[in-house]
A and B are shown apart, each in its own frame.
Chain A
Amino acid sequence: GGYTQSPGGFGSPTGTQAEKKQRARSQNIVPCTVSQLLAAEQVDETFRIRDVEISQVTIMGIIRHAEKAPTNILYKVDDMTAAPMDVRQWVDTDEAGSENVVVPPGTYVKVAGHLRSFQNKKSLVAFKIMPLENMNEFTTHILEIVNAHMILRRNLMSASRVPQSFSSAGMGDGGYGGGSSLPVNGLTAHQSQVLNLIKNCPVPEGMSLQELKLQLHNMSMSTIKQAVEFLSSEGHIYSTVDDDHYKSTDAD
């Protein structure tokens, strides 16, 4: 039979190792520091920063050096966390357009690109290099890096702790698709876990607080209650027969 994809950051359950690898390609674009990219470990085609899978990344730094070649521009971008990183931008040789304009050293830029490693040296292949017009974006980027890596890491941790009884059939032992997504709904890991359990509950009167406590071994009742209160005030869940029973507002 089939299965529904669990919401809240779980990848689709997979069977074989090969399938897992294919589907595990990260769909995210993750803001990073150069130091994180340099520390990323490579296993086959994938890079991981402390177990969090990355592929497309953004960095922000100042251009220290720019070298123009016929087919590409090689920049060295410095964000102070390590030595400047090599960033290569391929140039469209047919088009005499903005791709051929070299961004001058001393400019702060945002780079979006793919992490690469060649002969043990890391670099980025950029698909976008944009000079910063507002330096407050740089401050935001710093905060986004901490936020993103914290959330991605928390998703990894909480995924391994979700009780098996609510895993979709076929998820297998510790089967985690690896394609974690940043929760765009702004929920914390605790709130997501509570919401997922409530969503997956098939009983008409919904899930009770007691049942939540039974399933969520790592959470205290007060944490669960706090999560339920938040989810309820945000409209994700509603109480049914009494204040102890909740259902999800999302049609599954």
Chain B
Amino acid sequence: MVDVHEVPRPRIATGHLAQHIGKPVCFVGRVEKIHPTGKLFVLSDGEGKHTTVELSEPLDEEISGVLEVVGRVTNQATIMCMSYVQFREDKSPFDLELYNEALKIIHEFPDYFPFG
């Protein structure tokens, strides 16, 4: 199984999940809820739309705030997470809505921001 970290991972929002089924992606969103088992959590994107993220192993730490998830989109349009990173917000809050606008731009101009 190819390591998703070695291939291009398009940055997407919830609305793009359907077009990326089976593909590696990068999703940035705010933690909304975490399932008690720790194997599932929900992130909201810059438009407030929710995406479900699944883990193969339960979380071993508290997560909150803005997360950047790398994984593969499942047939159910959830994301199977391979790794995640918390965006630091200790100095400034992260403007998720602005990030969403930037995503629209890079999707509109793939020639100037190529994935792969």
A contact residues vs B (CB 8 Å cutoff): 33, 35-36, 39, 62, 64, 78, 80-84, 106, 108, 132-136, 139, 142-143, 145-146, 149-150, 153
Given contacts A82-B8, A106-B85, A134-B92, contact A33 B114 (CB under 8 A): yes
Known: A62-B85, A83-B6. A136 touches B94 (CB 8 A): yes
Complex Cα–Cα for A36 and B116 (A) = 8
Tell me the interface secondary structure of chain B in the complex: loop
Contacts A80-B11, A135-B89, A139-B99 given; indicate if A35 touches B105 (C-beta within 8 A): no
A-B contact count (CB 8 A): 73
- Say whether A142 contacts B112, CB under 8 Å: no
Residues of B close to A143: CB separation below 8 A: 102, 105
Closest residue on chain A to residue B4 by CB atoms: A80
Q: B residues engaging A (CB < 8 A)?
A: 5-11, 26, 66, 70, 85, 87-89, 91-92, 94-95, 98-99, 102, 105-106, 109, 112-116
B112 touches A145 (CB 8 A): yes
The smallest C-beta distance from A157 to any residue of chain B, in angstroms, reads 13
- Complex CA gap A146/B114 in Å reads 10
**Pick the contact of B26 from A64, A80, A133, A146 — CB < 8 Å?**
A80
Q: Known pairs A80-B26, A80-B115, A108-B88; list 19 more (Cβ under 8 Å).
A: A35-B8, A39-B114, A62-B85, A80-B9, A80-B11, A80-B70, A81-B113, A81-B116, A82-B115, A82-B116, A133-B92, A134-B92, A136-B92, A142-B105, A142-B106, A143-B105, A146-B105, A146-B109, A150-B112
